[in-house]
Amino acid sequence: MTTEHPRPRLIGHRGAPTECPENTLPSFLRALELGADGIELDAHCTRDRVVVIHHDEIPRAKAPRGLERKPIAELTFDELQGFSVEGRALIPTLAEVLAAVKDRADVYVELKGRGIEAAVVAVIRSSPAPHRCSVHSFEHEAVRRALALMPGLAGGILFDHALPDPASALRAVGATAAWPREDLIDAALVDAVHGAGGRVIAWTVNDPKRASLLAALGVDGLCTDRLPVVSKALAS
């Protein structure tokens, strides 16, 4: 007998990066237009402790003269405003993104920079829809620290290698979502996480056949660069 599972939530990986520069306001807004249930983004802090959204520690953006190859943590927010992402967008702040998204989608904040938990939590706490926000990271202790700062905030653990006991890894930091690389997911992993009361969010799922298979396994979310393609695969 085939078990029917609810459709996984579709999460725009850094927004809609096949159409707009990733991790920018146009990309996140386009993901919402494409029907995303949530967006995933990467957080760093500037030298003056402004939480900004970008993937790499050293911006992959055209920099003003003299600021090339400097990490975000060594730049002020004002300095960062001179950077141009693909010549089409600025590097946004987390506060700007949350103000734009409001209550229209879940926002999954990856903690990229070191020691940024308090700054990120402060922005989430004062946002229009803090209940729609969560944090996740490869550094699981960073998730634990963030959750300790804001009771009720949801957290997730990222991993790109097999964990011997994913349920224990979740419990160790108080997280409720496992974020495995998509090729690590099988029925046993899904069952283990669900048995612990957690959710499985797969990254990064761009192949429609793989998306359908993961949906059949019962994953709870698919983080993807290709929202229309994955959405169509699940619908069919």
pLDDT tens per residue across all 236 residues of the chain: 346 789 999 999 999 999 999 999 999 999 999 999 999 999 999 999 999 999 999 999 999 999 999 999 999 999 999 999 999 999 999 999 999 999 999 999 999 999 999 999 999 999 999 999 999 999 999 999 999 999 999 999 999 999 999 999 999 999 999 999 999 999 999 999 999 999 999 999 999 999 999 999 999 999 999 999 999 999 98
113 CB-contact burial (10 Å; exposed 0-12 / middle 13-18 / buried 19+): buried
Dist CA 4 CA 108 (whole Å): 26
Copy the structure tokens of residue 104.
């229209």
Dist CA 140 CA 232 (whole Å): 33
**In this structure, CATH architecture of domain 9-235:** Alpha-Beta Barrel (3.20)
How far are the Cα atoms of 1, 63, 72 from residue 44, in angstroms, in the given order?
A: 47, 17, 7
Dist CA 88 CA 90 (whole Å): 7
Inter-residue contact 199 to 193 (CB < 8 Å): yes
Looking at residue 5, its pLDDT comes to 83
How far are the Cα atoms of 68, 146, 166, 182, 221 from residue 174, in angstroms, in the given order?
A: 39, 10, 12, 22, 19
Dist CA 144 CA 172 (whole Å): 8
Dist CA 173 CA 168 (whole Å): 9
Looking at residue 3, its pLDDT comes to 63
pTM listed for this prediction: 0.97
Copy the structure tokens of residue 61.
């953006």
* Bond into 204 cis (ω within 30): yes
